[in-house]
Amino acid sequence: MKKLRNEIWTGFSRVYTGKNIVKKRGRCLSYSDLDDIENVSVIVREGKIKAVLPTAKVGASLRKGLKKIDGQGAALMPGLIDSHTHLVFAGDRAGEFGQRCAGVTYAEIAQQGGGILTTVNATRLASQKMLLDLAVQRVKRAQSFGVTTLECKTGYGLDFETELKCLRVVDQVRKIFPEMTFVKTAMPHHAIPQGVSRETYFTESLQFLSRLHKESPFEAVDIFVDQCYFTHQDLKKLAAWAKRARVLLKVHADELVCTGSAGLGAKLGAVSVDHLLKISDPDIRQLAKSNTIATLLPGTALFLREPFAPARALLDAGARVALATDFNPGSCYSLNLPFMMHLGALHMRMNPAEVFAAVTINAAAALGQKNRGAILPGFIADFTALPVGDSGQASFEQVLYHMAW
């Protein structure tokens, strides 16, 4: 979908504005908070929503100079936001997936030198052009699912040169797809390279982070805090760096075991804590009191045959929840955000308004994006048209209903 300038969006059967969800700041939502309006037009001036008003009231003077976009009966919602992807890497791990299907465990594959380090080796060897070609194909795939904002993490370089190469790929992708919004996240703290201790690598990578930021500025940093990965101490040091550099902090938290990293992330002002498969009850309460977004990644749980994150407990406690793909070669090879929404609705028992918030304003907040994720005056004009069902009706529920369509 093109970046919008001066346009009138009209002829949609219904428009989901997200008004109630914005009013409630994306928390404590019931199904009836999913509000839609029929027969309205959306007026866009200079890429921002100027007005949402009944089509009958749009006179000639209001239409003047606007390009008409005819919805032909489709439904309109804010553009989908995928707030957690590992977009840039080379190679795939289909062979390992076959082994897993034949009964070999993820840990056994890692012991044989496979897993994340397979991707690190392939990414280090790949040229920037090769990485760019792969990233471009992936962005087109995300676009085909209605995604208009995409977060892109590095994390398969684990050295200065390769992390920089991956950040530069995102810079190039931005130029190729000006109609989309990309949020760059540096994640050299994704794993520990072979043959180096965690302490040595953490110290080294914290030093090169500043150089990376200078060469190819990014909006956020992320760190994998878990058993055999990085520690609470490392997270505190990275949080201090992020504060000084004025970049957002994100945390891969409580994925493999419960370490309490979700609660610590919230205390340190992280914009989001992600995964949360093993989050503790006190940390659920901690998150609910904070502005930190709980980003849940149901595709990863499914791919790893793990129970889903406790979405209901988080939502009932009052936490703000986002849903994302976690697209990556090892634990979720999918950019199908509508499928994650389906999993959220059906298997994590999120009501449709909660799912809507999870891929619009809550996902925007997880990326520090203001004025995005609703069709209201002042918001950025960024839309997704929703599928029309076999009955000829277009609605938000159609997205949830179409399973991996």
Question: Which residues are near Zn ion by CB under 5 A?
Answer: 326
Using DSSP's 3-state secondary structure scheme, residue 144 falls into: helix
Which tokens in the block code for residue 237? Answer: 């040091």
* Closer by beta carbon to Zn ion, 283 or else 326: 326
Q: How far is the CB of 262 from Zn ion (least distance, A)?
A: 14
Q: How far is the CB of 84 from Zn ion (least distance, A)?
A: 6
SS3 for 87-99, per residue?
A: CCCCCCCHHHHHH
Q: How far is the CB of 252 from Zn ion (least distance, A)?
A: 5
* Closer by beta carbon to Zn ion, 254 or else 326: 326
* Closer by beta carbon to Zn ion, 14 or else 153: 153
Question: Are 235 and 223 in contact, with CB atoms under 8 Å apart?
Answer: yes
Q: 67: which DSSP letter?
A: E
* Closer by beta carbon to Zn ion, 29 or else 276: 276
User: What is the rounded CA–CA span in Å between residue 269 and residue 359?
Assistant: 21
Give residues with Cβ within 8 angstroms of 405, minimum separation 6: 338, 387
H-helix or E-strand spanning residue 207: helix 198-215
User: What is the rounded CA–CA span in Å between residue 239 and residue 273?
Assistant: 13
Nearest CA-CA partner of 186 in 211, 177, 204, 201: 211
Using DSSP's 3-state secondary structure scheme, residue 188 falls into: strand
Backbone φ and ψ of 293, nearest 5°: -85, 135
* Closer by beta carbon to Zn ion, 152 or else 375: 152
* Closer by beta carbon to Zn ion, 37 or else 304: 304
Which residue's structure tokens are 């389906």? Answer: 342
Q: How far is the CB of 225 from Zn ion (least distance, A)?
A: 12
Q: How far is the CB of 86 from Zn ion (least distance, A)?
A: 6
* Closer by beta carbon to Zn ion, 326 or else 382: 326
- Position closest to Zn ion via CB: 326
Q: How far is the CB of 83 from Zn ion (least distance, A)?
A: 11
Q: How far is the CB of 31 from Zn ion (least distance, A)?
A: 30
DSSP E strands in 91-214: the ranges are 147-153, 181-189
Neighbour-count burial of 328, counting CB atoms closer than 10 A to its CB (0-12 exposed, 13-18 middle, 19+ buried): buried
